[in-house]
Chain A
Amino acid sequence: MLIAVWKELKKAPFTAWFGIAVILSYIIVAFFAPVLTPYGETQVVGDEYAPWTSEFLLGTDNIGRDMLSRLLYGARNTVGIAFVTTCLAFFIGGMAGLIASTVGGWTDQILSRIVDVLMAIPQLIFALLLLTIVGTNVVNMILIIALLDSTRVFRLARAVATNVVVMDFVEVARLRGEGLWWLIRHEVLPNSTAPLIAEFGLRFCFVFLLIAALSFLGLGIQPPTADWGSMVRENATLITFGDITPLLPAAAIALLTVAVNFVVDWMLHASSGLKD
């Protein structure tokens, strides 16, 4: 299987390679942040809004913390939290979707109606509503976003699995007397991996942007944690002076999202085999 992946990789366009390179570098930064950064995450080291010098490569922020260090730590926080949330959403939605399509009947109907209703309210609005009620802290945010996003994963997992479930080979297994878990594990899942992986990438992007937006609005990850969304908010006034420093965390968000999108785009293209 790995050989097949490598063969595809060799054919991949420049954008896919660029994406993979970026993703890898972000992962490295996230892991090795404490080693790479010159200063601490929340350490106040100088005056506020200091310009870019050799001491503070990217200047300081609104309280006097080193921008570069906070930027690097942000990888850990923002990306890390987004990743955990996506995994959770994927697990909940994916399981529910696979079960709904394999079992069918009332289970499928009920789950689908619940999801329809949850999806009738725009995610950002719903998230804001729930956060108002339970309070804005990181754990709540992760749980709420995971729950809301699992609906999208549910829809996709269900659609993909349904395409597999109507195949004769699944009926063969069912008629044999195989149980639900055997069917899911041996028949449905192996034939759904490519679209599911692609969807993981897409959901990650969405969750990542949503968390960044919430933090930007001051309702997500709270200071003093280094988080790209709130860092943009904290330093926004610099824009009016023509300083691009606040754009850096925003660019960091954009860059990772672009990279993941490029890779997912290539995957979808390669797996569908469309002459598109």
Chain B
Amino acid sequence: MWPILRMVIQRLSLGLLTLFVVSVIIFSSVEFLPGDLAQEILGQAATPETVAAFRKELGLDRPPVERYFTWLGNVAQGDFGKSLANNREISELIGQRLLNTLFLAGFAATIAVPLAITLGVLAALYRNTLFDRMINVFTLTSISFPEFFVAYILILFFAVNWGLFPSISNIGPETSFWDKVYRTMLPALTLTLVVVAHMMRMTRAAIINLLASPYIEMARLKGIKPGRVIVKHALPNALAPIINVVAINLAYLVVGVVVVEVVFVYPGLGQLLVDSVSKRDITVVQASSLVFAATYILLNLTADVLSILTNPRLLHPR
């Protein structure tokens, strides 16, 4: 078991290192701001004294490396600093919104993942049949649609014309669970449609690849029934590629959430990010980017570790 433990630890450390480097990038990107940050925020009309005082307040007079570690230290304790636009604690702003975004992403994933895997496996098993070809065209079309297009179509039909679901997903901390589900149905559906298409195509490709393996042919030559060939021979080897596919798409989901939140005016981290970008509220943008990036890295890390753990060659070394 030891070599596999070593590999997992290696991968975890690499993930941590990546996170570290990414935080440096996010932090130092502000350094490339043409002109001075304080000046930018206060505007051209501000007097030099005001600018200097503001710089001191923001801590801009201290060396970059020191500022980075202070920032990092604060972040680790949950203190992201203050919003430049309204001077509120960023951690307050982010906290609830992050939960909302995760709820939306989780909701979409719960529908999308089982659906995509099932369709992908079926398409692989029945490849080149009419069913498979139709699915191919449908998913190709689906991945080509911008999220806002899908979102507005759904709103047009389900909200405006048929009045089944609300077109604006207004939820708060007090909203009950099922009420949340009801109000977020359309955004979740939007996300699902796009992600299912990607996931299904990748799953199909992975399974087809697997089915071409010599050991699958060998199983058939032993007279094993097709159902058992799939379940006992193909599936155990399909775990790794499918996990990989799911993780890639979950990471994509986390990002796709941004546009969807804007369309449905959903109080999530994505909407916060977009608003902050328009207002050039740098500290909030920094903090939100860091959170998104961290989630993304974490998901990829989980995928890598899981695929190490499901590889029979690594589980049982020579």
Contacts and interface: CB of A to CB of B under 8 A. Distances in A.
Tell me, yes or no, whether A and B come into direct contact in the complex with CB atoms closer than 8 A. yes
Interface residues of B, number: 53
Contact of B273 (A128, A246, A253, A258): A128
A132 B282 contact: yes
A132 B144 contact: no
Interface string A13-28: 0010000000000000
A83 interface: no
B140 A262 contact: yes
Interface in B251-277: 251, 254-255, 258-259, 262, 273-274, 276-277
Given A126-B289, A247-B156, A132 B280 contact: yes
B103 interface: no
Contacts of A239: 152, 155-156, 160, 167
B258 to A, nearest CB: 6
B289 A217 contact: no
Contacts of A124: 255, 258
Q: Would you call the interface of chain B mostly helix, strand, loop, or mixed?
A: helix
A95 interface: no
Interface stretch (A49-57, A58-66, A115-123): A115-123
- Most B Cβ at <10 Å: residue of A129, A232, A250, A257: A129
Interface in A211-239: 212-213, 216-219, 229, 232, 236, 239
B148 A125 contact: no
- Most A Cβ at <10 Å: residue of B21, B146, B282, B300: B146
Contacts of B29: 129-130, 133
A44 interface: no
A101 interface: no
Contacts of B278: 218-219
B34 A122 contact: no
Contacts of B137: 15
A122 B255 contact: yes
A262 B282 CA distance: 40
B58 interface: no
A67 to B, nearest CB: 16
B144 to A, nearest CB: 4
B141 interface: yes
Nearest to B32: A133
A260 B148 CA distance: 19
Given A121-B293, A240-B167, A242-B156, A254 B18 contact: no
A261 B147 contact: no
B156 A117 contact: no
A121 B149 contact: no
- Most B Cβ at <10 Å: residue of A128, A130, A131, A136: A128
A257 B167 CA distance: 26
B147 A213 contact: yes
Contact of B292 (A122, A253, A276): A122
Contacts of A232: 148-149, 152
B18 A120 contact: yes
A253 B146 contact: yes
A254 B146 contact: yes
Given A236-B152, A247-B149, 7 more contacts: A121-B293, A133-B33, A216-B148, A217-B262, A218-B278, A254-B144, A257-B146
16 contacts: A116-B18, A120-B22, A125-B273, A129-B26, A213-B259, A217-B258, A219-B274, A219-B277, A232-B148, A239-B155, A240-B167, A247-B149, A247-B156, A254-B145, A254-B146, A262-B140
Interchain residue pairs A-B with the least CB separation, the first 3: A257-B144, A250-B149, A258-B144
Interface of A: 15, 116-117, 120-126, 128-134, 136, 205, 209, 212-213, 216-219, 229, 232, 236, 239-242, 244, 246-247, 250-251, 253-254, 257-258, 260-262, 265, 276
